[in-house]
Amino acid sequence: NAGVTQTPKFQVLKTGQSMTLQCAQDMNHNSMYWYRQDPGMGLRLIYYSASEGTTDKGEVPNGYNVSRLNKREFSLRLESAAPSQTSVYFCASSGRTGGDTQYFGPGTRLTVL
């Protein structure tokens, strides 16, 4: 039982390049989330998916797109990376949205030059 897994662990991009961050969970959770963590700012929600087939914007969605590929997988895409997107990205999952414990992946450290 791996919980929440993320790939890659580290990535360096040049401004304007695109990439997709992958996330998978094996806990049969309905809800999945993408956060970014910047120094001293805690975690901020980018997008979430309450259930398979649905996605919604969080606090900081600009510059990102998401896909809930199936119940297990939730990907985050940067179409044209900017230095302001340098951050650590965390994926999480929970049984349901609203009041249910979220479990986090190990994170992806992204640097945009």
Q: Which residues here bind other proteins, judged by CB under 8 A?
A: 4, 33, 40-45, 48, 50, 56, 58-59, 90, 92, 97-99, 101-107
Pairing mode of beta strands 103-104, 87-94: antiparallel
Residue 57 or 77: which CB sits closer to other proteins?
57
Which residue, 19 or 45, is less far from other proteins as judged by CB?
A: 45
Maximum pairwise Cα distance, the chain? 38
| Structural contact between residues 36 and 91, judged by C-beta atoms closer than 8 angstroms | no
Judged by CB, which is closer to other proteins: 17, or 71? 71
- Which residue matches tokens 């609203």? 98
Neighbouring C-beta atoms of residue 74, cutoff 10 Å:
28
